Amino acid sequence: MFRWEKIRKPVFCLAPMAEITTLPFRSICKSMGADIVFTPMISSDAVVFNPEKTLKIAEFLTKEQPVIVQIFGYDGEKIAQAANIVDKKLKPAGIDINMGCPAPNITGNECGSGLLRDLDKALDLVKIVRKMYKGQLSVKLRLGWREYNIKEFCQQLEKIGVDALIIHGRTAKQKYTGHANWQPIYDVAQSIQIPVIGNGDIMDWRMAYRLLAPSIFEGLHIVYRQNDKPLAIGDKQLAGVMIGRGALGNPFIFKEIKGKRTYTNKFKELPKIIHEQTLKYIEYTGNEKRAILEMRKHLGWYIKGFAGAQEIRKKAMLVNNYQDVKMILKELENNGKS
């Protein structure tokens, strides 16, 4: 049985990303070495009122475990209800409460990182969920609404029984602008005992280790800088890191992290990966046209770095069926790395 306190550290997680980390892409990342994978966020209200349709988003294969299902909402009882429905029907390794999404349509409804506007209210919400849901419970959050002010809040989350925290190094108002600030993540990690996973701007395997802990990074002779200043990193190693945008078009990042080296065959293998993911989408959706429309954005990310990428990407954004994708793959195989 999965327990956050028993995870083998360091752990490397795939972040929850709306309309991206559904089963087809998630299973690819799992095969590449992701230790824990998160589903896209699902609405607590939608789970409670229309579970059959909503749970399709969080559907996973047993071999993907441990899988964490992320839920967003504004009402603690509804989130707890949804968590128990998910637990009964899907049996994931755990539930994650979304306090990190900065999208205006989410924060405007007092969900996601919008909950960080009022930390007392947010704490009460989590207390209700913790009381009603007995499984493994994590919270993914940001540094605060406008500024870093979550340290005491995180300490309170630990006291009420939250099992792990995933912290993105930006405030809600920053969205994805500027650079992620990891110093506050270390600040929180040093003040509590439950696992803390860091998230934000991990685009390659070296950065993953550099931000995980400087001691692990010794001997690799690379210093990452922000605004021409070395990153200030605390002394405590995090329990792990979470990769989001760094995996888009490059699920090999997990293989590179595990091997501590750049994977040189990725461009040779990418057409095979794209083909596999396309077939997974067709099976997952049960509708070829819908599957191909889902694959368009992934094709755009995968094609980066190939010779003639700009022209191939234009064609990729117009694919309508499986045969169209096969034609794109043929071009990629012929062109190779730029």
Q: Return the active site residues.
A: 101
Cis peptide before 10 (omega within 30 of 0): yes
Q: In b/e form, how buried is each residue of 31-58, taking b as 16+ CB within 10 angstroms?
A: ebbbbbbbbbbbbbbbbbeebeebbebb
| Residue 70 marked as a ligand binder | yes
| Residue 15 marked as a ligand binder | no
| Residue 207 marked as a ligand binder | no
Reading the block at residue 139, the tokens are: 């919270």
Q: List the one residue out of 183, 182, 193 whose CA is nearest residue 154.
A: 193
219: left (phi over 0), alpha (psi -120 to 50) or beta: left
| Residue 240 marked as a ligand binder | no
C-beta of residue 28 within 8 angstroms of C-beta of residue 85:
no
For 231, residues 6+ apart whose C-beta sits below 8 A from its C-beta are 182, 183, 210, 211, 223, 224, 225
| Residue 298 marked as a ligand binder | no
SS3 259: helix
Cis peptide before 40 (omega within 30 of 0): no
Distance in angstroms (rounded) separating the CA atoms of residues 230 and 233: 9
Q: What is the DSSP track for 92-132?
A: -SEEEEEE----HHHHTTT-GGGGGG-HHHHHHHHHHHHHH
Between vectors from CA 60 to CA 141 and to CA 52, what angle results, nearest 5°? 90
Reading the block at residue 291, the tokens are: 């599957």
Q: List the one residue out of 106, 111, 166, 118 whose CA is nearest residue 142.
A: 166
| Residue 18 marked as a ligand binder | yes
Instruction: Report the binding-site residues.
Output: 16-18, 70, 140, 168, 244-245
Instruction: Report the binding-site residues for FMN.
Output: 16-18, 70, 140, 168, 244-245
